[in-house]
Chain A
Amino acid sequence: MSIRSTGDHSVRRSRRGKRLAVGLVVLAALIAVGAAYAYSAYRYSPTSQTQPGTSYQTGGWANRVYNYACREVGGYGWARARYYNSSGNVVADTNSQYTNCSDGAAARLDGNGYYRSWCRHDGTVAWQMACVTTQP
Protein backbone atom coordinates (compact mmCIF):
# COMPACT_ATOMS: atom_id res chain seq x y z
CA MET A 1 0.00 0.00 0.00
CA SER A 2 2.71 2.43 1.00
CA ILE A 3 4.76 1.56 -2.07
CA ARG A 4 1.71 2.16 -4.25
CA SER A 5 1.03 5.41 -2.46
CA THR A 6 4.62 6.56 -2.96
CA GLY A 7 4.32 5.72 -6.65
CA ASP A 8 1.20 7.84 -6.98
CA HIS A 9 2.97 10.74 -5.32
CA SER A 10 5.97 10.43 -7.57
CA VAL A 11 3.71 10.29 -10.63
CA ARG A 12 1.91 13.42 -9.41
CA ARG A 13 5.23 15.13 -8.72
CA SER A 14 6.44 14.13 -12.16
CA ARG A 15 3.30 15.55 -13.77
CA ARG A 16 3.59 18.73 -11.73
CA GLY A 17 7.22 19.00 -12.76
CA LYS A 18 6.34 18.59 -16.41
CA ARG A 19 3.58 21.19 -16.16
CA LEU A 20 5.94 23.57 -14.41
CA ALA A 21 8.61 23.05 -17.07
CA VAL A 22 6.13 23.63 -19.89
CA GLY A 23 4.82 26.72 -18.09
CA LEU A 24 8.32 28.10 -17.69
CA VAL A 25 9.13 27.51 -21.34
CA VAL A 26 5.92 29.27 -22.41
CA LEU A 27 6.64 32.12 -19.99
CA ALA A 28 10.18 32.50 -21.31
CA ALA A 29 8.86 32.58 -24.88
CA LEU A 30 6.29 35.22 -23.97
CA ILE A 31 8.91 37.34 -22.21
CA ALA A 32 11.19 37.09 -25.22
CA VAL A 33 8.38 38.01 -27.60
CA GLY A 34 7.36 40.84 -25.27
CA ALA A 35 10.92 42.12 -25.21
CA ALA A 36 10.98 42.17 -29.00
CA TYR A 37 7.77 44.15 -29.10
CA ALA A 38 9.01 46.58 -26.45
CA TYR A 39 10.50 48.39 -29.40
CA SER A 40 8.02 50.37 -31.42
CA ALA A 41 8.09 50.14 -35.19
CA TYR A 42 7.90 53.29 -37.20
CA ARG A 43 7.97 54.25 -40.81
CA TYR A 44 10.64 56.57 -42.15
CA SER A 45 9.65 56.70 -45.82
CA PRO A 46 6.87 58.93 -47.22
CA THR A 47 3.42 57.60 -48.11
CA SER A 48 3.68 58.90 -51.67
CA GLN A 49 5.27 57.58 -54.83
CA THR A 50 9.01 58.03 -55.11
CA GLN A 51 11.49 57.79 -57.93
CA PRO A 52 13.97 54.96 -58.57
CA GLY A 53 17.22 55.44 -56.70
CA THR A 54 15.65 57.47 -53.91
CA SER A 55 16.91 56.53 -50.47
CA TYR A 56 15.67 57.31 -46.99
CA GLN A 57 17.20 57.08 -43.57
CA THR A 58 16.27 57.58 -39.97
CA GLY A 59 17.03 60.90 -38.32
CA GLY A 60 19.71 59.35 -36.18
CA TRP A 61 21.02 56.30 -34.43
CA ALA A 62 19.15 54.13 -31.99
CA ASN A 63 19.00 50.56 -30.85
CA ARG A 64 17.25 48.75 -33.67
CA VAL A 65 15.66 45.31 -33.70
CA TYR A 66 14.82 45.22 -37.37
CA ASN A 67 14.74 47.33 -40.50
CA TYR A 68 12.90 46.38 -43.65
CA ALA A 69 11.97 47.81 -47.02
CA CYS A 70 9.33 46.82 -49.56
CA ARG A 71 7.17 48.16 -52.36
CA GLU A 72 3.90 49.13 -50.77
CA VAL A 73 1.34 49.57 -53.55
CA GLY A 74 0.93 48.14 -57.04
CA GLY A 75 2.83 44.88 -56.93
CA TYR A 76 6.48 43.98 -56.69
CA GLY A 77 9.59 46.12 -56.86
CA TRP A 78 13.28 46.00 -56.01
CA ALA A 79 14.24 47.47 -52.65
CA ARG A 80 17.13 47.36 -50.25
CA ALA A 81 17.70 47.88 -46.54
CA ARG A 82 20.81 48.76 -44.59
CA TYR A 83 22.21 49.64 -41.23
CA TYR A 84 24.89 52.27 -40.70
CA ASN A 85 26.90 52.56 -37.53
CA SER A 86 27.65 55.84 -35.81
CA SER A 87 30.87 56.19 -37.85
CA GLY A 88 28.81 56.19 -41.03
CA ASN A 89 29.97 52.73 -42.18
CA VAL A 90 27.62 50.17 -43.71
CA VAL A 91 27.41 47.37 -41.17
CA ALA A 92 24.63 45.32 -42.75
CA ASP A 93 23.03 45.26 -46.19
CA THR A 94 20.30 43.07 -47.71
CA ASN A 95 21.27 43.71 -51.30
CA SER A 96 18.43 44.35 -53.73
CA GLN A 97 15.43 42.13 -53.11
CA TYR A 98 12.24 41.72 -55.05
CA THR A 99 9.64 42.99 -52.60
CA ASN A 100 5.94 43.46 -52.15
CA CYS A 101 4.62 44.55 -48.77
CA SER A 102 1.16 43.12 -49.46
CA ASP A 103 2.60 39.67 -50.10
CA GLY A 104 4.95 39.95 -47.16
CA ALA A 105 8.01 39.96 -49.39
CA ALA A 106 10.40 42.36 -47.73
CA ALA A 107 14.14 42.91 -47.53
CA ARG A 108 14.67 42.68 -43.82
CA LEU A 109 17.61 43.04 -41.43
CA ASP A 110 17.55 41.70 -37.90
CA GLY A 111 19.89 41.98 -34.95
CA ASN A 112 19.98 44.49 -32.15
CA GLY A 113 22.47 47.29 -32.48
CA TYR A 114 22.97 51.03 -32.30
CA TYR A 115 22.33 51.82 -35.94
CA ARG A 116 20.92 54.27 -38.40
CA SER A 117 18.35 52.56 -40.62
CA TRP A 118 18.43 53.16 -44.35
CA CYS A 119 16.50 51.94 -47.36
CA ARG A 120 16.45 52.52 -51.08
CA HIS A 121 14.05 52.25 -54.00
CA ASP A 122 15.96 50.03 -56.45
CA GLY A 123 13.19 49.74 -59.02
CA THR A 124 12.96 51.23 -62.49
CA VAL A 125 9.65 53.08 -62.25
CA ALA A 126 8.10 55.28 -59.57
CA TRP A 127 6.17 53.58 -56.78
CA GLN A 128 5.39 53.93 -53.12
CA MET A 129 7.94 52.41 -50.84
CA ALA A 130 7.62 51.45 -47.19
CA CYS A 131 10.67 51.50 -44.95
CA VAL A 132 10.03 50.47 -41.38
CA THR A 133 12.36 50.14 -38.45
CA THR A 134 12.26 50.04 -34.70
CA GLN A 135 13.51 52.13 -31.88
CA PRO A 136 12.96 51.98 -28.14
Chain B
Amino acid sequence: MSALRRRRALFVLVVTAIAGTAAAVIAGVSDAGTKVVRPAVPELGVFSEPADTAVDPRLAGLADSPRFVSGGKSGAADLFRLHVLGRDLGAFSSTLVVLPYHEDRGVCYALLGRTETDPGMSYCYLPLDPQLPDELKDQHFSGSWFYTNVDGVPRVQLFGVAFDDVNRLRLSVNGSWREVPVSRNGFYLDLPGASYKDSARIEATLADGSKRVYDFPNTDD
Protein backbone atom coordinates (compact mmCIF):
# COMPACT_ATOMS: atom_id res chain seq x y z
CA MET B 1 0.00 0.00 0.00
CA SER B 2 1.36 3.38 -0.97
CA ALA B 3 1.79 6.18 1.53
CA LEU B 4 -1.08 8.07 -0.09
CA ARG B 5 -3.46 5.09 0.25
CA ARG B 6 -2.43 4.57 3.86
CA ARG B 7 -3.20 8.24 4.59
CA ARG B 8 -6.59 7.95 2.87
CA ALA B 9 -7.43 4.82 4.83
CA LEU B 10 -6.43 6.51 8.09
CA PHE B 11 -8.48 9.57 7.19
CA VAL B 12 -11.57 7.43 6.46
CA LEU B 13 -11.08 5.58 9.76
CA VAL B 14 -10.85 8.79 11.78
CA VAL B 15 -13.86 10.36 10.05
CA THR B 16 -15.91 7.20 10.62
CA ALA B 17 -15.00 7.13 14.31
CA ILE B 18 -15.90 10.81 14.80
CA ALA B 19 -19.19 10.42 12.92
CA GLY B 20 -20.07 7.31 14.93
CA THR B 21 -19.38 9.02 18.23
CA ALA B 22 -21.39 12.10 17.22
CA ALA B 23 -24.31 9.93 16.09
CA ALA B 24 -24.29 8.03 19.37
CA VAL B 25 -24.26 11.25 21.39
CA ILE B 26 -27.06 12.80 19.34
CA ALA B 27 -29.16 9.65 19.54
CA GLY B 28 -28.67 9.49 23.28
CA VAL B 29 -29.63 13.09 23.93
CA SER B 30 -32.61 13.11 21.60
CA ASP B 31 -34.17 9.91 22.91
CA ALA B 32 -37.60 10.95 24.20
CA GLY B 33 -36.25 14.46 24.52
CA THR B 34 -34.15 13.59 27.54
CA LYS B 35 -30.62 12.62 28.34
CA VAL B 36 -29.42 9.02 28.24
CA VAL B 37 -30.67 7.22 31.32
CA ARG B 38 -27.78 6.28 33.53
CA PRO B 39 -28.29 3.70 36.26
CA ALA B 40 -28.74 5.99 39.25
CA VAL B 41 -28.96 3.87 42.40
CA PRO B 42 -29.20 0.45 40.70
CA GLU B 43 -31.37 -0.88 43.52
CA LEU B 44 -34.19 1.31 42.22
CA GLY B 45 -35.17 -0.23 38.90
CA VAL B 46 -37.34 2.70 37.92
CA PHE B 47 -34.18 4.69 37.18
CA SER B 48 -33.46 2.31 34.30
CA GLU B 49 -36.61 3.50 32.58
CA PRO B 50 -36.81 6.64 30.44
CA ALA B 51 -37.59 9.75 32.46
CA ASP B 52 -41.25 10.76 32.56
CA THR B 53 -41.17 14.51 32.58
CA ALA B 54 -38.71 17.28 31.93
CA VAL B 55 -39.21 19.93 34.60
CA ASP B 56 -42.13 20.05 36.98
CA PRO B 57 -42.53 23.68 38.12
CA ARG B 58 -43.61 22.46 41.54
CA LEU B 59 -40.09 21.14 42.01
CA ALA B 60 -38.44 24.38 41.01
CA GLY B 61 -36.87 25.14 44.36
CA LEU B 62 -36.01 21.60 45.37
CA ALA B 63 -32.65 21.38 43.67
CA ASP B 64 -31.22 24.52 45.12
CA SER B 65 -32.66 24.79 48.59
CA PRO B 66 -30.12 22.72 50.53
CA ARG B 67 -27.32 24.30 48.54
CA PHE B 68 -28.54 27.66 49.77
CA VAL B 69 -27.03 26.85 53.13
CA SER B 70 -24.24 24.48 52.16
CA GLY B 71 -22.52 26.92 49.84
CA GLY B 72 -22.81 24.80 46.75
CA LYS B 73 -21.57 21.26 46.62
CA SER B 74 -22.46 19.56 43.38
CA GLY B 75 -25.58 18.16 44.93
CA ALA B 76 -28.40 19.34 42.73
CA ALA B 77 -31.26 17.06 41.91
CA ASP B 78 -31.50 16.10 38.26
CA LEU B 79 -34.90 17.45 37.34
CA PHE B 80 -34.57 16.09 33.82
CA ARG B 81 -34.54 12.52 35.12
CA LEU B 82 -37.70 12.71 37.11
CA HIS B 83 -39.90 9.61 37.36
CA VAL B 84 -43.56 9.68 38.28
CA LEU B 85 -44.38 6.78 40.58
CA GLY B 86 -48.01 7.60 41.23
CA ARG B 87 -50.66 10.12 40.24
CA ASP B 88 -53.89 11.41 41.73
CA LEU B 89 -53.05 10.08 45.18
CA GLY B 90 -55.09 10.76 48.29
CA ALA B 91 -57.05 13.81 49.36
CA PHE B 92 -54.89 16.31 47.49
CA SER B 93 -54.65 14.37 44.22
CA SER B 94 -50.93 14.27 44.83
CA THR B 95 -48.19 13.07 42.53
CA LEU B 96 -45.35 10.93 43.84
CA VAL B 97 -42.05 11.49 42.04
CA VAL B 98 -38.49 10.30 42.45
CA LEU B 99 -35.32 11.68 40.95
CA PRO B 100 -31.58 11.10 41.23
CA TYR B 101 -29.57 13.38 43.39
CA HIS B 102 -26.03 14.21 44.37
CA GLU B 103 -24.31 12.87 41.26
CA ASP B 104 -26.41 9.71 41.31
CA ARG B 105 -25.41 8.75 44.83
CA GLY B 106 -28.63 10.09 46.26
CA VAL B 107 -32.37 9.89 45.81
CA CYS B 108 -34.97 12.59 46.20
CA TYR B 109 -38.60 11.68 46.48
CA ALA B 110 -41.44 14.11 46.76
CA LEU B 111 -45.17 14.24 47.16
CA LEU B 112 -46.47 17.13 45.09
CA GLY B 113 -49.91 18.56 45.62
CA ARG B 114 -52.12 19.07 42.59
CA THR B 115 -51.96 22.84 43.00
CA GLU B 116 -49.39 25.13 44.54
CA THR B 117 -51.51 25.61 47.62
CA ASP B 118 -51.87 21.89 48.31
CA PRO B 119 -49.42 20.57 50.89
CA GLY B 120 -46.33 18.83 49.64
CA MET B 121 -43.18 17.37 51.08
CA SER B 122 -39.86 16.16 49.79
CA TYR B 123 -36.87 14.36 51.19
CA CYS B 124 -33.44 13.57 49.79
CA TYR B 125 -31.04 10.96 51.11
CA LEU B 126 -28.09 8.74 50.27
CA PRO B 127 -29.47 5.19 50.53
CA LEU B 128 -26.12 3.41 50.29
CA ASP B 129 -24.11 5.75 52.49
CA PRO B 130 -21.96 3.64 54.85
CA GLN B 131 -22.22 6.40 57.46
CA LEU B 132 -25.96 5.89 57.96
CA PRO B 133 -26.95 5.17 61.55
CA ASP B 134 -28.03 1.67 62.54
CA GLU B 135 -31.75 2.41 62.26
CA LEU B 136 -31.34 3.46 58.62
CA LYS B 137 -28.48 1.30 57.42
CA ASP B 138 -29.29 -1.50 54.95
CA GLN B 139 -32.94 -0.60 55.19
CA HIS B 140 -33.94 -1.06 51.50
CA PHE B 141 -36.63 1.58 51.77
CA SER B 142 -37.24 5.12 52.96
CA GLY B 143 -40.59 6.40 54.13
CA SER B 144 -41.89 9.78 55.23
CA TRP B 145 -44.67 10.30 57.73
CA PHE B 146 -46.19 13.50 56.38
CA TYR B 147 -48.78 15.04 58.66
CA THR B 148 -51.22 17.73 57.54
CA ASN B 149 -54.26 19.37 59.02
CA VAL B 150 -56.11 21.13 56.23
CA ASP B 151 -59.64 22.48 56.71
CA GLY B 152 -59.76 20.83 60.11
CA VAL B 153 -59.06 17.33 58.76
CA PRO B 154 -55.92 15.76 60.20
CA ARG B 155 -54.26 13.04 58.19
CA VAL B 156 -50.93 11.40 57.51
CA GLN B 157 -49.70 10.57 54.07
CA LEU B 158 -47.13 7.81 54.20
CA PHE B 159 -44.97 7.87 51.10
CA GLY B 160 -41.53 6.85 49.99
CA VAL B 161 -39.37 4.58 47.89
CA ALA B 162 -38.48 0.90 48.17
CA PHE B 163 -35.70 -1.10 46.54
CA ASP B 164 -36.46 -3.68 43.85
CA ASP B 165 -36.04 -6.53 46.32
CA VAL B 166 -38.83 -5.37 48.65
CA ASN B 167 -41.57 -7.94 48.18
CA ARG B 168 -43.96 -6.67 50.78
CA LEU B 169 -44.43 -3.55 52.86
CA ARG B 170 -46.79 -3.15 55.78
CA LEU B 171 -47.48 -0.53 58.37
CA SER B 172 -48.49 -0.70 61.99
CA VAL B 173 -50.31 2.31 63.42
CA ASN B 174 -50.92 2.11 67.14
CA GLY B 175 -50.55 -1.67 66.91
CA SER B 176 -52.88 -2.27 63.96
CA TRP B 177 -51.24 -3.65 60.78
CA ARG B 178 -52.18 -2.86 57.21
CA GLU B 179 -50.63 -3.47 53.82
CA VAL B 180 -48.81 -0.71 51.95
CA PRO B 181 -49.04 -1.08 48.16
CA VAL B 182 -45.70 -0.77 46.36
CA SER B 183 -45.52 0.05 42.66
CA ARG B 184 -42.44 0.81 40.57
CA ASN B 185 -40.31 1.43 43.66
CA GLY B 186 -42.82 3.87 45.12
CA PHE B 187 -45.37 3.56 47.89
CA TYR B 188 -48.17 5.72 49.22
CA LEU B 189 -50.85 5.35 51.83
CA ASP B 190 -53.40 7.95 52.89
CA LEU B 191 -54.29 7.76 56.58
CA PRO B 192 -57.16 10.13 57.44
CA GLY B 193 -57.33 10.82 61.14
CA ALA B 194 -53.73 9.79 61.80
CA SER B 195 -51.36 12.14 63.58
CA TYR B 196 -47.72 12.91 64.05
CA LYS B 197 -48.17 11.63 67.59
CA ASP B 198 -49.21 8.12 66.54
CA SER B 199 -46.93 5.19 67.14
CA ALA B 200 -46.03 3.87 63.70
CA ARG B 201 -43.77 1.10 62.44
CA ILE B 202 -43.09 0.13 58.85
CA GLU B 203 -41.87 -3.34 57.96
CA ALA B 204 -40.39 -4.53 54.68
CA THR B 205 -40.08 -8.17 53.66
CA LEU B 206 -37.25 -8.67 51.20
CA ALA B 207 -36.97 -11.24 48.41
CA ASP B 208 -34.69 -13.39 50.56
CA GLY B 209 -37.34 -13.50 53.27
CA SER B 210 -35.52 -11.22 55.68
CA LYS B 211 -37.26 -8.23 57.22
CA ARG B 212 -36.33 -4.61 57.75
CA VAL B 213 -38.16 -2.49 60.29
CA TYR B 214 -38.28 1.23 60.91
CA ASP B 215 -40.08 2.99 63.76
CA PHE B 216 -41.13 6.53 63.03
CA PRO B 217 -40.01 8.76 65.87
CA ASN B 218 -43.47 10.15 66.58
CA THR B 219 -43.01 10.98 70.18
CA ASP B 220 -44.23 14.43 71.10
CA ASP B 221 -46.07 17.50 69.92
Check if A43 sits within 8 Å of B69, measured CB to CB: yes
Interface pair A65/B69, CB less than 8 Å apart:
no
**Interface set of A (CB-CB < 8 Å, partner B):** 29, 32-33, 36-37, 41, 43, 65-66, 68, 70, 72, 75-76, 78, 89-98, 101-113, 122, 130, 132, 134
A72 to B140: give the CA distance in the assembly, Å: 26
Tell whether, in the assembled complex, residue B117 and residue A104 are in contact, meaning their CB atoms are under 8 Å apart.
no
Residues of A within 8 A of B121 (CB): 92, 94, 108-110
Cα distance A91–B149 when bound, in Å?
Answer: 4
- B77 part of interface (Cβ distance < 8 Å): yes
Q: Does B150 sit at the interface, judged by CB under 8 A?
A: yes
Of residues A41, A97, A108, which shows the largest number of chain B Cβ atoms within 10 Å of its Cβ? A108
**Is the Cβ of A95 less than 8 Å from the Cβ of B68?**
no
Which single member of B65, B126, B133, B218 contacts A66 (CB below 8 Å)? B65
Q: Which of A95, A103, A109, A113 contacts B196 (CB 8 A)?
A: A95
**B73 sits at the interface (CB 8 A):** yes
| CB neighbours of A98 from chain B (8 A) | 125, 132-133, 136
Is the Cβ of B69 less than 8 Å from the Cβ of A70?
yes
On whether the beta carbons of B65 and A132 are closer than 8 Å, the reply is: yes
Q: Is B67 an interface residue (CB 8 A)?
A: yes
Given the complex, which residues of B lie within 8 Å of A134, measured CB to CB? 61
Number of interface residues of B (CB under 8 A): 52
Task: Tell me the B residues contacting A by CB distance below 8 Å.
Answer: 54-55, 57-58, 60-62, 65-70, 73, 75-77, 101-102, 106, 108, 110, 112-113, 116-126, 129, 131-133, 136, 144-150, 196, 216-218, 221
B147 contact from A66, A90, A112, A130, Cβ within 8 A: A90
Contact present for B106 and A95 (CB under 8 Å): no
Of B73, B120, B124, B150, the contact of A109 (CB 8 Å cutoff)? B120
Q: Kindly report which residue of chain B lies nearest to residue A98, judged by CB atoms.
A: B136
Q: Tell which of A32, A91, A106, A112 touches B66, judged by Cβ atoms closer than 8 Å.
A: A106
Q: Can you report 19 residue pairs joining A to B where beta carbons are below 8 Å apart?
A: A33-B55, A37-B61, A41-B65, A41-B68, A68-B65, A68-B66, A78-B217, A93-B196, A97-B144, A101-B70, A103-B66, A103-B75, A106-B124, A108-B65, A108-B123, A110-B110, A111-B117, A111-B119, A111-B120
The CA of A37 and the CA of B125, in the complex, are separated in Å by: 24
Across the interface, do A90 and B113 meet the contact criterion of CB distance under 8 Å? no
